[in-house]
Amino acid sequence: MIADFSSRPMTARGGAEPMRHVGRVSLRTLVFVRWVVIIGQLVTVSVVALGFQFPMQLSAVLTIIALAVAVNLLGMVMRRGRALSDRAVAVYLAFDILQLSALLFLTGGLTNPFAVLVLGPIAVAAAVLGRDYSFGLTFLAIICLAALFASPFDLPWNGGGSPRLPDLYQLGLWISLTLACGFISTYNWSVAGEARRISEALAETQLTLAREQQLTALGTLAAAAAHELGTPLSTITVVAKELARDMPADSPFAEDVALIQSQCERCRSILAELARKPEDAEESPFNRLPLEQLVEAAATPHRMPGIRLEISTVAAPGTEPPILRRTPEIMHGLGNILQNAMQFATTAVTVMAQTDAHRIAMTISDDGPGFSPGLLGRLGEPYLSIRDQEHEHLGLGIFIAQTLLERTGAELTFVNGLEGTLQGAAVMIVWPRAALAL
């Protein structure tokens, strides 16, 4: 029975897509901006209370500013350079909204011309936070503006009494500021969201290009190695033939010489395969195979004595088993994964395939020791020691296999002990059926 992959998202690194927990705003930035705000508040209060000598709730106002100073000092004690999570940034901005609203509440409410500053944290939240946090802070700001509308305190003014705006005019101010909060939050979040998507797409493109450059470099090295190996391989072949001709049939070394000749022929076939042009493969009458025969063809060069290979395919009711094109990407990609499985298997390697009208899912598993748990999340990176920590295995085979199979539209997941398999290492591969089937 093959595992069902339809209920969980797949990635090439072996798991679900990680949720975004780390934001793009550092604590250092928030602390710096808040110091600027605190200095502005102190200057404004000093000018109004000491310069103009307007009566106001000075003790309460200074207490609220002192609370902001204490919070900022606490932020300075923490790691200032680290990026905060979206939740932490939302808490900081919520405090700014509440602190500013408390100051406005004590100094005239909506009649205070500085009430428009409530829009500042909303604009920041919409630019750097996700939708839920951004809209939550917008709702908090609207509630605070409604509380300012009900403020019983007068605007600090000359001793002759402060001007009192009509309630209808203040209601209009509250409505306009509420609409401004909603508009700024929605517009900034939409624009910033588009910018984030473009940035993420650019990062994915750069990562893909880097992986392609690595594979191209490996391909160039392979071509150079194939060219350089041609001459010494010819020399070894000639010498082996001369040894076989001159050696008595009953010589104890006759079997070794025959083995050398067979391996030289295999090397010649590999070099010929590397030199074959893509159009040559397209013209071959054997480039279209059923799924089971395709896997068998990919595994044949890597079969090992004592390791049995079991291949099973299951087609969903009402669907025909797919006929696949024998492309170099498929053959080399599956071949590398099957070779890796056979190298570490104890007795068996199984390939279980499941097809339906929309996808082709395959699980390649072995009964070996499995992947190293500490490296599961990094499989697919080149020059990575895998599976066997006592020996050097650079991970180039898995890297090449993953890159080649991803070119065909596949998604790969690496796991250990998957239910329904041999409980060793398992590689799950999923293609859209339209990407492979003829």
Residue 24 one-letter amino acid: R
Tokens describing residue 201: 């797409």
CB 131, CB 174: distance < 8 Å? no
Mean pLDDT across the chain: 78
More confident residue, 321 or 312: 312
User: Over 70: is that where the pLDDT of 244 sits?
Assistant: yes
Lowest mean pLDDT among 42-46, 83-87, 255-259, 414-418: 83-87
Terminal-to-terminal C-alpha distance of the chain: 26
Tokens 């499941």 — which residue? 354
User: Over 60: is that where the pLDDT of 105 sits?
Assistant: yes
More confident residue, 179 or 379: 179
- Separation between Cα atoms, residue 69 and residue 90, nearest integer Å: 18
Which candidate, 383, 418, 380, 422, places its Cα nearest to that of 398?
380
pLDDT at 362: 92
CB 126, CB 188: distance < 8 Å? yes
CA angle 49, 55, 61 (to 5 degrees): 65
CB 183, CB 153: distance < 8 Å? no
- Separation between Cα atoms, residue 109 and residue 148, nearest integer Å: 4
Lowest mean pLDDT among 12-16, 77-81, 295-299, 391-395: 12-16
Q: How confident is the model at residue 429 (pLDDT cuts 50, 70, 90)?
A: very high
Q: How confident is the model at residue 361 (pLDDT cuts 50, 70, 90)?
A: very high
- The 8-class DSSP code of residue 56 comes to -
Fold for 285-436, please state it.
Heat Shock Protein 90 (3.30.565)
Average pLDDT over residues 166-184: 83
User: Over 50: is that where the pLDDT of 182 sits?
Assistant: yes
pLDDT at 23: 53
Average pLDDT over residues 402-429: 84
CA angle 212, 217, 222 (to 5 degrees): 120
More confident residue, 138 or 380: 138
Q: How confident is the model at residue 22 (pLDDT cuts 50, 70, 90)?
A: very low
- Separation between Cα atoms, residue 365 and residue 347, nearest integer Å: 12
Q: How confident is the model at residue 88 (pLDDT cuts 50, 70, 90)?
A: confident
Average pLDDT over residues 133-153: 86
CB 119, CB 184: distance < 8 Å? yes
Determine how β-strand 288-290 pairs with β-strand 323-325.
antiparallel
pLDDT at 238: 84
Residue 398 one-letter amino acid: I
Average pLDDT over residues 346-364: 91
Which candidate, 410, 210, 417, places its Cα nearest to that of 329?
410
pLDDT at 39: 92
Average pLDDT over residues 339-367: 90
Helix 58-77 to helix 27-46 angle (10° resolution) is 160
Which candidate, 425, 429, 204, places its Cα nearest to that of 333?
429
Instruction: Measure CA 49 to chain center.
Output: 54
User: Over 50: is that where the pLDDT of 342 sits?
Assistant: yes
Q: How confident is the model at residue 385 (pLDDT cuts 50, 70, 90)?
A: low
Determine how β-strand 308-315 pairs with β-strand 348-355.
parallel
Q: Is 290 helix (H, G, I), strand (E, B) or coil?
A: strand
User: Over 70: is that where the pLDDT of 201 sits?
Assistant: no
User: Over 50: is that where the pLDDT of 379 sits?
Assistant: yes
Q: Encode pLDDT of 253-311 as tens digits.
A: 888 888 888 888 888 777 776 655 554 444 455 567 888 888 998 888 888 888 999 99
CA angle 400, 406, 409 (to 5 degrees): 155
